[in-house]
């Protein structure tokens, strides 16, 4: 079973479908923490949750839920373009009302102004709740994730609807800690670090990456809720923990942090290889081993 942040028919389900094996049952959960807890308890094998620019929110909830409780590690990543489908009842009349999550409505304002200028806009708790409400006859059209039509027998009025063409939303698949996915040469590693709230704390952490030629792909700070005077940093970097230089850098972060949690090494969803650059680390480690053994100088 694969848990995901529900309800059915949202972008998160769409990402979860991409992760699931054909036999794997997909189970929606009401909240991100609930999906992660089910996986921690072994009730589901994995959990798919949004981690960046989610249409329906919940990203801060994801980050907090990953930092608290038993550790989980990401094993796969998905990046979906934020493009909506507009759905209506087959053979319905004119569209007088159009429903969706407020964030989705905000992302299709221009489209609605052009194509359904007279329709009243109505909020729902999710993009999928809008599709269900259209099916129930509450509203005439829904702005939904493309996957919604799998669940609701609605007619697709339009696809690929988005005012901003390049908006994307990112998901990770989490499991309980175990063997890491094999390195592929285009991997990403995620960690969350807690550092003292002192001048230069983050500069020290990032120097550990820069010194080893490791590219940072995302950083976000968040004050810790429970302990004052501490900062938490979510860091994504290029490379896999199995690589010598990434292992060295993680050890460097560990030395500088009051607390560090590994959130996984997994193949990047989008193209973009990571320059190898491990040879120098391997030969340097060999040299140190040699001088320690009296085999060189």
Nearer to its own copies, 164 or 284 (CB): 164
Cα-based distances in Å from 247 to 17, 240, 244, 253, 263: 32, 8, 5, 10, 14
The span from the CA of 220 to the CA of 201, in Å, is 14
Whether omega before 7 lies within 30 degrees of 0, making that bond cis, reads yes
Q: Which run of H or E residues covers position 37?
A: helix 32-40
269: tokens are 């969803």
CA dihedral 80, 83, 89, 92 (to 10 degrees): -170
Residue 238 in 3-state DSSP?
strand
**Phi, psi angles (nearest 5°) of residue 82:** -85, 90
Residue 58 contacts residue 31 (beta carbons within 8 Å): yes
Residues that bind its own copies in the complex, under the rule CB under 8 A: 31, 53, 56-58, 60-61, 101-103, 105-106, 109, 121-126, 129, 166, 197-200, 202-204, 206-207, 209-210, 213-216, 218-221, 225, 233
Q: Write down the least CB distance from residue 174 to its own copies, Å.
A: 20
For its own copies, give the closer residue by CB, 3 or 46: 3
CB of 212 to its own copies, least distance (A): 9
Minimum distance from residue 207 beta carbon to its own copies (Å): 5
Nearer to its own copies, 118 or 293 (CB): 118
**Cβ at position 293, least distance to its own copies in Å:** 32
Determine the Cα angle at 252 with ends 197 and 260, to 5°.
55
Q: Residue 186 CB, nearest distance to its own copies (Å)?
A: 15
Least gap, CB of 275 to its own copies (angstroms) = 9
Nearest approach, Cβ of residue 237 and its own copies (Å): 10
Looking at beta carbons only, is 154 or 205 nearer to its own copies?
205
Tokens 């997994």 belong to: 266
Pairing mode, strands 155-161 and 84-88: antiparallel
The Cα 206–Cα 213 span in angstroms is 11
Cβ 29 vs Cβ 41: under 8 Å: no
Residues with Cβ < 8 Å from 213, sequence gap 6 or more? 245, 275, 277
Residue with smaller CB distance to its own copies, 140 or 236: 236
């Amino acid at each position: 079973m694969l848990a995901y942040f529900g309800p059915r028919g949202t972008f998160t389900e769409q990402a979860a479908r991409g992760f699931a094996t054909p036999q794997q049952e997909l189970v929606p959960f009401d909240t991100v923490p609930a999906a992660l807890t089910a996986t921690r308890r072994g009730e589901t094998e994995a959990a798919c949750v949004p981690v960046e620019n989610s249409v329906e929110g919940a990203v801060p909830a994801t980050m907090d839920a990953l930092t608290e409780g038993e550790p989980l590690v990401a094993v796969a990543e998905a990046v979906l373009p934020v493009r909506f489908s507009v759905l209506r009842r087959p053979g319905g009349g004119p569209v007088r009302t159009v429903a969706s999550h407020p964030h989705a409505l905000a992302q299709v304002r221009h489209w609605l102004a052009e194509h359904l200028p007279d329709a009243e806009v109505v909020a729902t708790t999710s993009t999928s709740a809008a599709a269900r409400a259209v099916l129930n006859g509450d509203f005439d059209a829904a702005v939904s994730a493309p996957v919604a039509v799998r669940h609701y027998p609605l007619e697709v009025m339009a696809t690929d609807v988005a005012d901003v063409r390049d908006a994307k939303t990112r998901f990770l698949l989490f499991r309980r800690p175990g063997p890491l996915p094999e390195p592929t040469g285009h991997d990403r590693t995620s960690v969350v670090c807690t550092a003292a709230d002192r001048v230069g704390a983050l500069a020290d952490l990032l120097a550990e990456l820069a010194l080893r030629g490791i590219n940072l792909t995302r950083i976000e700070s968040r004050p810790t809720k429970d302990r004052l005077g501490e900062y938490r940093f979510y860091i994504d970097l290029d490379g896999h923990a199995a690589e010598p230089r990434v292992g060295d850098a993680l050890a460097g972060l560990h030395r500088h942090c009051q607390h560090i949690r590994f959130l996984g090494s997994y193949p990047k969803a989008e193209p973009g290889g990571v320059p190898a650059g491990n040879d120098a680390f391997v030969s340097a480690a060999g040299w140190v081993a040699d001088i320690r053994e009296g085999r060189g100088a």
